[in-house]
Amino acid sequence: MADEPTEQELTGVETRVSRKPEIDAIGGRTLKPATLMMGHGYDPTLSEGALKPPVFLTSTFVFPNAAAGKRHFEGVTGKRPGGAAGLVYSRFNGPNQEILEDRLGIWEGAEDALTFSSGMAAIATLFLSLVRPGDTIVHSGPLYAATETLIARVLGRFGVHWLDFPAGATREEIDAVLGKAATGRVALIYLESPANPTNALVDVEAVAASRDAIWGSAAEKPPIAIDNTFLGPLWSQPLQHGADVVVYSLTKYAGGHSDLVAGGVLGSKAVIDTIRAMRNTIGTICDPNTAWMLLRSLETLELRMSRAGENAAKVCAFLRDHPKVEHVGYLGFLAEAEGRQADIYRRHCTGGGSTFSLYLKGGEAEAFRFLDSLKIAKLAVSLGGTETLASHPAAMTHLSVPDARKQALGITDNLVRISIGVEDADDLIADMEQALAAI
Ligand SMILES: *Cc1c(COP(=O)(O)O)cnc(C)c1O
């Protein structure tokens, strides 16, 4: 169109210094995420040549002219798809968040991504953007406790229903639950894999096949969203297995240093536009300082997760054969196992992660003695940080879960949850060995 403003009119930036084109391939070679984390989506010429993006502490952005302001608001309000073409107001967007979102999407080959002030803010914004009163949310179970609360106790108050199937469900079991739900409007299918603390994997391919068989190409076909916090993005990429939306608590592996709280959502442009409109309305966007910290975190994501994964494999191999250990629930063991979970693992996962369940011989007293004897591992909930953490789900994260459900989920008094960090693996084994000796 002749009256479309030019890029310079929209951004107000005179590109005297010729901007270097974004490099994402060399010859026929597509650059890997680990390479792109150092520069993708950031142009130093826009920030005085600063190698690293500054933290943009501003609540609002100056429009170069009124036409640009109008165009930006067309993007913000959804009149024009794809969000604002420029920076508008910090509840909607900001340079740090946009660079972060560009880089986050790369890890899973997602068309678009959004970041949020917490994992729960991401999940709540996702739900609010898709559900209407009378709808059903179908989900795998168990879910992260706050997610279950959000569905049952919060959305339930607004007339939203839910149905669930166990995380390890077969295609037939999934068909039965989705078929029952499909008699009404299903807002979305929400998965979490592996389930915490059972570590049961969801067969995302089977869920997608079941959904497609039931809804076909119907316009009301519910999207499949999945919480990929435990294995993503290194060891599991659910968009490749039929999921439409991937959710993260970036507080865990992505942030990776136990020093921030944030969330992310990845997916197609269409679904992300819907979620962005809700985020614009309620303001659940990640703040610029946290976004900046996450940019730093993503530069070492592959290094950290690879090392933590290798450490966990070594520690779990040691624990598995220890006489005071009853069972180790480590996903990496599935690589050489038999059965349905092993089949799901081989189709969906490229690694076992670094968070696992340790069942000690004995009960709460033995578990507490083990936890209190650890010298390197810290006693704290959460996971995915550079440091090794250990906790007792029955007495901590899952304390309020009714006894019968605890038993059903395997949350017994002898269960310890461990998240392995990037320390020296042999030091960690020495720590586990002396703590086991102290029982
Ligand atoms: C921690 C966590 C969340 C919640 O994320 P916050 O960043 O704490 O809001 C959601 N899902 C899973 C699987 C988590 O581990």
Amino acid letter at 153? R
pLDDT at 16 over 50: no
Which atom number of ligand 1 is nearest to the Cα of residue 192? 13
Q: What is the pLDDT of residue 12?
A: 55
Atom of ligand 1 nearest to the CA of 120: 9
Nearest CA residue ID for atom 5, ligand 1: 119
Tell me the two tokens of residue 88.
């508008």
pLDDT tens digits for range 230-266: 999 999 999 999 999 999 999 999 999 999 999 999 9
Q: Which atom of ligand 1 is nearest to the CA of 383?
A: 15
Question: Ligand 1 centre and the CA of 264: distance in Å?
Answer: 10
Q: What is the mean pLDDT of residues 7-17?
A: 52
Mutate to test the pocket of ligand 1, among 115, 117, 202, 252 (most ligand atoms within 8 A of CB): 252
Give the model's pLDDT for residue 79: 85
Confidence at residue 2, expressed as pLDDT on a 0 to 100 scale:
47
The C-alpha atoms of residue 242 and residue 237 are separated, in whole angstroms, by 10
pTM of the model: 0.95
Q: Which residues line ligand 1 (CB under 6 A)?
A: 118-120, 144, 192, 196, 227, 229-230, 249, 251-252, 261, 263
Express each pLDDT in 359-377 by its tens digit.
999 999 999 999 999 999 9
- Shortest-distance Cα residue to atom 8 of ligand 1: 119
Cα 104 from chain centroid (whole Å): 10
Residue 229 C-alpha to ligand 1 middle, in angstroms? Answer: 7
Residue 66 has pLDDT above 70, yes or no: yes
Q: Whose C-alpha lies nearest to ligand 1, atom 2?
A: 249
More confident site: 225 or 406: 225
* Residue 132 exposed, middle or buried by CB count within 10 Å (0-12, 13-18, 19+): exposed
Ligand 1 atom nearest to 382, measured from its CA: 1
Residue whose CA is closest, atom 15 of ligand 1?
A: 229
Q: Which atom of ligand 1 is closest in space to residue 122's alpha carbon?
A: 9
Residues making up the chain, counted from first to last: 439
271 CA to centre of ligand 1 in angstroms = 21
Instruction: Kindly write down the DSSP assignment for every residue of 123-190, as one continuous string.
Output: HHHHHHHH--TT-EEEEEES--HHHHHIIIIIGGGGT-EEEEEETT--HHHHHHHHHHHTTS-EEEEE
User: Is the separation of the CB atoms in 198 and 189 below 8 Å?
Assistant: no
Instruction: Choose one of 116, 120, 201, 246 to mutate for the ligand 1 pocket test, by most ligand atoms within 8 angstroms of C-beta.
Output: 120
Digit-coded pLDDT (tens) for 72-100: 999 888 888 777 888 999 999 999 999 99
pLDDT (tens digit per residue) in 148-202: 999 999 999 999 999 999 999 999 999 999 999 999 999 999 999 999 888 999 9
SS3 (DSSP) at 96:
helix
Q: Which one, of 380, 379, 396, 395, lies nearest residue 435 by Cα?
A: 379
Is residue 9 predicted with pLDDT exceeding 90?
no
Question: How far is it, in rounded angstroms, from Cα 124 to Cα 137?
Answer: 13
Please, which pLDDT band fits residue 15 given cuts at 50, 70 and 90? very low
Please, what is the average pLDDT of the chain?
Answer: 94
Band of the pLDDT at 18, cuts 50, 70, 90? Answer: very low
Residue 271 above 50 pLDDT?
Answer: yes
CA 119 to ligand 1 center in whole angstroms: 5
CA of 249 to the centre of ligand 1 (A): 5
Give the Å distance between the CA of 281 and the centre of ligand 1. Answer: 22
pLDDT band at 14 (very low <50, low <70, confident <90, very high): very low
Q: Say how many CA atoms lie within 13 Å of 263 toward its Cβ.
A: 19
| Band of pLDDT at residue 113, cut at 50, 70 and 90 | very high
CA distances 104 to 29, 37, 53, 166, Å, are 20, 9, 16, 29
Q: Which atom of ligand 1 is nearest to the CA of 229?
A: 13
